[in-house]
Structure 1
Amino acid sequence: MKPPKRRSLWWRVHSWAGLKLSIFLTFILATGTLAVFAHEIDWLVTPAMRVTPQDRPLASWGAIAQAAARAEPEGRLQTLHAPIDPWFAVEAWVDMGKGAPRRVYVDPWEAQVTGTHGWANVHRFLRQVHRHLMLPTKIGIPIVSSLAFLLLASLVTGIVTYKKWWRGFLRLPRGGDARRFQGELHRLAGVWSLWFVALMTLTGIWYLVETLGGRAPVPELPRLAVTSAPVTGPALDRLVATVRAAKPTLSIREIRFTPDNGVIFLGQDRAWLVRERANGVAVDPATGRVTAMLDGRDLSVHQRISEMADPLHFGTFGGLTTKIIWFLAGALLTGLSVTGMLIYARRIQRADRVEGGGVRIAWAGMGLWAYVSIAAVILALALTPGAIGGAS
């Protein structure tokens, strides 16, 4: 018997990687794609998040914080988040003493509360189910992140089996035969999504490394004995003025009222492609003294990789433009998972003259992995109410 050709071996690996866990992979890819616009979906379904942009200066952070604190007098103001776009309200998180925080939305121009909402929302669901399947993070993240190796296998074997793949960018699918059309469409989508598959592979492996102990060190802030309630109104505005004097290039996107480190102002500065937590100023609310300053340009290589991972994974670094690109690329990758499964079914159907529908044949080809994938999806959905319910 002749040994199998190298291309045949690569193709077998490509088929296995794309088929056995295709249900689970499609679920993770689809939820991740939707997660790119999770905030926008929440904006559509939550009237309190919607405001009308006005042609005048925004209200002060102090006035906004005061409005949020008054909306939930029994709670403790925890965090303020600046609007991600002009038509979004400011989002405040209020600690109610037990359970998850409650969300309070404030008009950034009027400094008036537009409504309140519990912790559970579309963003929370999509983020947690995509990141760790509603399981404890030490269990769920390694399971989901391990799919990066499946993407890596598909990427490498796809390039090897598709001879002269660089010519395929403008090769449109031909009609006539359904099997040929699906195959050529799969290859066309594949070459256009190569960069995205590589990016998702790298960030996915990085998340796995972090979970297994490779997390980058987080800067330690001086500990303070903060016993008073979070500062609001003019007192907070004075702290904002102190921060702007100390770090005038900082665009404040988040304010944390912590019991141990004072008031922490975070946002974007001169460092590119980092999360907002990489730049900031910590202030002692009792004295108004700056206790620490964070600059994304001072990060080590290890820390910089950690801060780059989320912006690159979800495409948030360039605003609405990059989010649209990432959403379309994610939809393309999700479609690749589905078409790959159908191509396998048609190939088996034609080669072995197997009767039955494509989905039925693909299900049989998955074997035990089909039941494992379905079980993982059902488990994640069953755990959802308890995982994201929190405060009502």
Structure 2
Amino acid sequence: MYMLLMEADLTTLDLSSHQPAARPKTLRSWRAAWLKIHLWLGLALGLFLSIIGVTGSLLVFFHEIDEALNPKLRIVTAPAQGKAAWRPVDEIADAARKAIPVGSQLGFCYWPQRDDEAFLFYYQIKAPGSDGVETRHVFVDPYRAEVTGTRRWYAAGNPFDDAFVAFLFRLHYALLVRGTGDIAVGIIAILAFVSTVTGVVLWWPRNGKWRGAFTWKWPAKSERLNYDIHRLSGVFLLPVAIAVLLSGVYFNLPTQFRTVVELFSPLTNADKLRSAAPDGTPSVSLDDALEIVARRFPDGRVYALVPPQAPDSSVRIHQLFPVGWGIEGRRTIYIDRYKGDVLHVNDPLAGNGDGFVAWQWPLHSGYVFGWPGRIAVFLFGLSWPLIFVTGIIRWRQKRLARDAVALRRI
């Protein structure tokens, strides 16, 4: 939500030009319309976007926050040889399976990015005393293939029973509203994108004085200071805003997002990728699947994996890899669980719709530029409440000024 509530500056228009006389009036009318759209979107969405922004800033570092809060679960003692001393990944996964209830399925797994991190597996169970399902974690020490503990992540009922970081996620993507909250946040992201566009239109220097458009006036009165904070906070973080808002629409409205993308390029439906029919041949081990991926894509490092979820499903491995110029992408590789064939690669460098979709997670998380990118997304999230508050102050200042003029006319 970029509430760039810019004052009309029609004095810079050259009224002596050969333009029709109606042109300045038309510009004023359009500007007034953009300003109203921008203002009311800001007033209506500002509080929600502030909550989404602050939680998003925290979630940029959710692994670090969760590790600081739960060191006994997430941090392990690493030997001197580091990851070279890991037990086989299949042994690590088996340890996790033995620690979860019968009938539960190991799901998404975060891969340790440091030597002293544990494996983190997701799984789901029926919540005791209800028909709901809760999401849980099991952690495994990779050097000993021993479980360091389990915990509830998403509660089936009250979101205040979630783990702290899980609560932040639910507040960020659904505002704690079950069922329709994620849709509402997706719509808010679309409207915030519209607000951003209107803010750019209002900020755009029609007199061609670009230096002034990027300049902070100092020293200045409080009104001008508030104005500059408001507009420059939006301008300097504009590229981040476009990337985060667009990817936010993808995460909250994936079906609709993909439908629009498919108007320009076909997309692969990963849910329809199937492994060969089992014929008594044993499944490819996770270690073998990882070796296949490492041979084909030696430039990448594993970020996450998903074991097969059904007899005909695939092994899914997520890699982070350098693109160049400090940019990092994430590719997803689907491996046939019986033959070991690569069924599909969702590669951001593919130059098609699949590639475009593959960019959305690195952009939204900031991982696209490593630590600088994550810090940029962190600052962008914090800018939302700042822009909201300065926008409210700006609006009040203009209302008070109009009221004062009206009183003088009485």
Which range, TM-score by smaller chain? 0.7 to 0.9
Q: Which residue of 1 aligns with 2:91?
A: 63
- Provide TM-score, normalisation by structure 2: 0.70
- 2:366–2:374 contact (8 Å) kept in structure 1: yes
Aligned partner of 1:329: which letter?
F
Greater relative contact order: 1 or 2 (C-alpha under 8 angstroms, separation 6 or more)? 1
- 2:141–2:148 contact (8 Å) kept in structure 1: yes
Q: Which residue of 2 aligns with 1:184?
A: 228
Aligned partner of 1:326: which letter?
V
Unaligned runs of 5+ in 2: 1-23, 128-132, 155-162, 262-266, 406-410
Matched, 1:15 2:39: yes
Matches for 1:288-299 after TM superposition, within 5 Å: 289-297=339-347, 299=350
Separation in 2, partners of 1:61, 1:71? 16
Shift of 1:315: 0.9
Q: 1:207-241 CA distances to partner (integer Å, 9 max, x unpaired)? A: 6774434364324322456799x989xx5445544
Shift of 1:73: 5.4
Shift of 1:266: 0.6
Cα gap change, 1:12/1:193 in structure 2, threshold over 3 Å: closer, same or farther?
same
Q: 1:95-121 CA distances to partner (integer Å, 9 max, x unpaired)? A: 446723420112233433222111223
Q: Which residue of 1 aligns with 2:146?
A: 112
Shift of 1:140: 2.9
Matched, 1:310 2:361: yes
Q: Which residue of 1 aligns with 2:11?
A: none
Q: Which residue of 2 aligns with 1:358?
A: none
Alignment partner of 2:209 out of 160, 164, 172: 164
- The worse-fitting range, judged by mean Cα deviation, of 198-207 and 102-111 is 198-207
Identity %: 26
Aligned partner of 1:56: which letter?
Q
Q: 1:162-204 CA distances to partner (integer Å, 9 max, x unpaired)? A: 97354444525425x3222211222332322222233334435
- Name the count of aligned residue pairs: 344
Shift of 1:246: 5.9
Aligned partner of 2:45: which letter?
L
Separation in 1, partners of 2:106, 2:60? 27
Q: 1:4-56 CA distances to partner (integer Å, 9 max, x unpaired)? A: 86255544444333333322222222232222222322222223123355531
- Bigger fraction of residues in helix: 1
For the aligned residues, what is the CA RMSD?
3.7
Matched, 1:347 2:382: no
Cα gap change, 1:280/1:162 in structure 2, threshold over 3 Å: closer, same or farther?
farther
- 1:146–1:208 contact (8 Å) kept in structure 2: no
Cα gap change, 1:166/1:88 in structure 2, threshold over 3 Å: closer, same or farther?
farther
Alignment partner of 1:214 out of 238, 260, 264: 260
Aligned partner of 2:187: which letter?
I
Cα gap change, 1:275/1:240 in structure 2, threshold over 3 Å: closer, same or farther?
closer
Unaligned runs of 5+ in 1: 355-392
Q: Which residue of 2 aligns with 1:41?
A: 65
Matches for 1:117-128 after TM superposition, within 5 Å: 117-120=151-154, 121-128=163-170
Q: Which residue of 2 aligns with 1:146?
A: 190
Larger Rg: 2
Report SS of the residue matched to 1:146.
Answer: helix
Matches for 1:162-311 after TM superposition, within 5 Å: 164-175=209-220, 177-204=221-248, 210-212=254-256, 213-214=259-260, 216-219=267-270, 220-223=272-275, 236-241=286-291, 244=294, 248=298, 251-252=301-302, 253-262=304-313, 264-268=315-319, 272=323, 274-276=329-331, 278-284=332-338, 289-297=339-347, 299=350, 301-311=352-362
Report SS of the residue matched to 1:119.
Answer: strand
- 1:172–1:185 contact (8 Å) kept in structure 2: no
Separation in 2, partners of 1:52, 1:169? 50
Shift of 1:321: 3.4
Aligned partner of 1:20: which letter?
A
Aligned partner of 1:266: which letter?
I
Q: Which residue of 2 aligns with 1:330?
A: 381
Shift of 1:327: 0.4
Report SS of the residue matched to 2:340.
Answer: strand
Aligned partner of 1:295: which letter?
V
Separation in 2, partners of 1:55, 1:49? 19
Cα gap change, 1:261/1:107 in structure 2, threshold over 3 Å: closer, same or farther?
same
Report SS of the residue matched to 1:20.
Answer: helix
Shift of 1:268: 1.7
Cα gap change, 1:123/1:186 in structure 2, threshold over 3 Å: closer, same or farther?
same
- The worse-fitting range, judged by mean Cα deviation, of 51-60 and 325-334 is 51-60
- 1:78–1:256 contact (8 Å) kept in structure 2: yes
Q: Which residue of 2 aligns with 1:321?
A: 372
Cα gap change, 1:125/1:217 in structure 2, threshold over 3 Å: closer, same or farther?
farther
Cα gap change, 1:186/1:262 in structure 2, threshold over 3 Å: closer, same or farther?
closer
Q: Which residue of 2 aligns with 1:102?
A: 136
Separation in 1, partners of 2:194, 2:76? 43
Separation in 2, partners of 1:25, 1:40? 24
Report SS of the residue matched to 1:77.
Answer: coil
Aligned partner of 2:260: which letter?
G
- Provide TM-score, normalisation by structure 1: 0.73
Cα gap change, 1:239/1:274 in structure 2, threshold over 3 Å: closer, same or farther?
closer
Report SS of the residue matched to 1:294.
Answer: strand
Q: 1:46-70 CA distances to partner (integer Å, 9 max, x unpaired)? A: 2312335553142131232132123
